[in-house]
Amino acid sequence: MLYRKTITKKKQKKQKNSNFLIKIKSHLNSYIMNIIEIRVAGRFKLCGRIGTGSFCDIYQGINVHSGVEVAIKFEDTKSKYPQLLYEAKILQNLQGGTCIPTLHWCGPENEFNVLVIDLLGPNIEELFNRCNRKFSLKTVLMIVDQLITNMEYIHSKNYIHRDIKPENFLFGLGKQSHNLYTIDFGLSKRFRDSKTQEHIPYREKKPLIGTARYASINTHKGIEQSRRDDMESIGYLLVYLMKGRLPWQGINAKNKDEKYIKIKDQKLGIPLKELCADLPIEFANFINYCRGLNFDEKPNYRLSKKWFKELFYKEGYEYDNVFDWILIPLRNNHPSIFTCLPLTIDFEDEEKEETIREQKLAGEKNKQENEENQEGREEGSKNEEENYRIMEQNNKMILSQRHKVTNIKGGENNTARRMYTEPPNSLKNNQNKKEKECVIF
């Protein structure tokens, strides 16, 4: 027992030391990149490491000529199973779809095979963890609509993906932050001839290719994969996003083969009602439909999307691209987090921004005009008061001229009294009543 404990302690120390060395290497790499400018193909500058895949390392870069940010994949040319150049060929054939990142460059560079594509945002798994591993029904339904659309496009180009998992679906950046992209075509395969449209033959005793957690039952049985298997894997992915885990996660086994057998037995043994318990019936119907497809049968993508869209509008949701991770800053009252998350609420076009600017300018102009009109009215009222005062003075002058001073003799003292003399009869009708009643002493 003591011997075993010492061995485990030594292993733990070795692991800690190895992790420490990995951290030091990553810091040194970033430090070296800041000092020495490393370029790929003469125009793509390396900025730092952003992740690692199963067969390659991924770095962030920038095109020094255009300023476009890119993701750069490196694969050792001496690896046992090189896949990067094969993935580049598939990406080249898939170019043109809104769900496919742009291929900027691919080729050998010193001791590495290099692939340069668009820099994308976080994947579904990362966003799922940010939301405490719980998505709302609205978010899942908006995601599944794009998932099925992506698979429809890839299948229309005569390819199947064969590695459906949340890490292989990434959202874009900036104005494309609501757009879902599909990546990692290293395990993809052509299922149909592009010229003759002939489907690949049915085969058995095939090894499991892809991620066992989301693999279809036919894949576990060793049957050649086709379009139906990609669709069934999407069904398991949806259940995972709704519930946070799948029943066959966390299985203990001695090796991979034993683990795959246990996962297959659980998938066959769990009925769909139990797998999709507490979920809308559309999820179970979708998985059941995918399982019932024939090997070379084309899935009805439109019908599948229709089921989920009807559920979406039945729940009263609005397709506004407001996903759960967009609402995290509002819940935590931390607006600064918006800078770390992809923004999905954006303008459809720059024209909308211009119209809003024009409306603001028009509003400011109206305010200025209203202020000028108010000033003009105040000046006009002042001028009216002055004119009224001048008119009163003129009226008094006229009245004083019409008065006639008469001396009235009476008693010892003579008093001079000015009395109002009425105008002649021709002018009486033209005079005001005030003038008639006015007597000035």
Task: Assign residue 48 the CATH number of its domain.
Answer: 3.30.200.20
Is residue 357 situated within a structural domain? Answer: yes
The secondary structure of the chain in percent helix, strand, coil, rounded to multiples of 5, reads 50, 15, 35
Is residue 388 situated within a structural domain? Answer: no
- Judgement on whether residues 296 and 202 belong to the same structural domain of the protein: yes
Q: Is 163 an active-site residue?
A: yes
Q: What is the pLDDT of residue 436?
A: 44
Residue 412 structure tokens: 């010892």
DSSP letters for 140-197: HHHHHHHHHHHHHHHHHTTEE-----GGGEEE-SGGGTT-EEE---TT-EE-B-TTT-
Residue 110 structure tokens: 């010193």
- Judgement on whether residues 203 and 316 belong to the same structural domain of the protein: yes
Is residue 338 situated within a structural domain? Answer: yes
Q: What is the pLDDT of residue 68?
A: 94
Q: What is the pLDDT of residue 166?
A: 97
Q: What is the pLDDT of the chain when averaged over all its residues?
A: 81
pLDDT tier at 408, thresholds 50, 70, 90: very low
Is residue 398 situated within a structural domain? Answer: no
Domain boundary among 362, 378, 394: 378
Lowest mean pLDDT among 49-58, 135-144, 255-264, 333-342: 333-342
* CB-CB contact of 154 with 161 (8 Å): yes
- Judgement on whether residues 342 and 354 belong to the same structural domain of the protein: no
* DSSP designation for 123: B
Is residue 219 situated within a structural domain? Answer: yes
Catalytic annotation, pick one of 118, 163, 184, 230? 163
Q: Is the pLDDT of residue 431 over 90?
A: no
Q: What is the pLDDT of residue 53?
A: 74
Is residue 342 situated within a structural domain? Answer: yes
Q: Is the pLDDT of residue 326 over 50?
A: yes
What's the domain range around 418? 403-441
CB burial of 191-218 (b: ≥16 within 10 Å; e: otherwise) equals: bbeeeeeebbeeeeeeebebbbbbbbeb
- Judgement on whether residues 275 and 136 belong to the same structural domain of the protein: yes
Q: Which of 406, 409, 412 is nearest to 440 (CA)?
A: 406
Lowest mean pLDDT among 45-59, 61-75, 140-154: 45-59
Cβ neighbours for 280, distance < 8 A, ≥ 6 positions apart:
137, 311
What tens digit of pLDDT does each residue of 252-298 get? 999 999 999 999 999 999 999 999 999 999 999 999 999 999 999 99
pLDDT mean over 304-309: 97
Q: Is the pLDDT of residue 120 over 80?
A: yes
Is residue 1 situated within a structural domain? Answer: no
Q: What is the C-alpha separation between 167 and 147, in angstroms, rounded?
A: 13
Q: Is the pLDDT of residue 37 over 50?
A: yes
Domain count within the chain: 4
Q: What is the C-alpha separation between 272 and 68, in angstroms, rounded?
A: 46
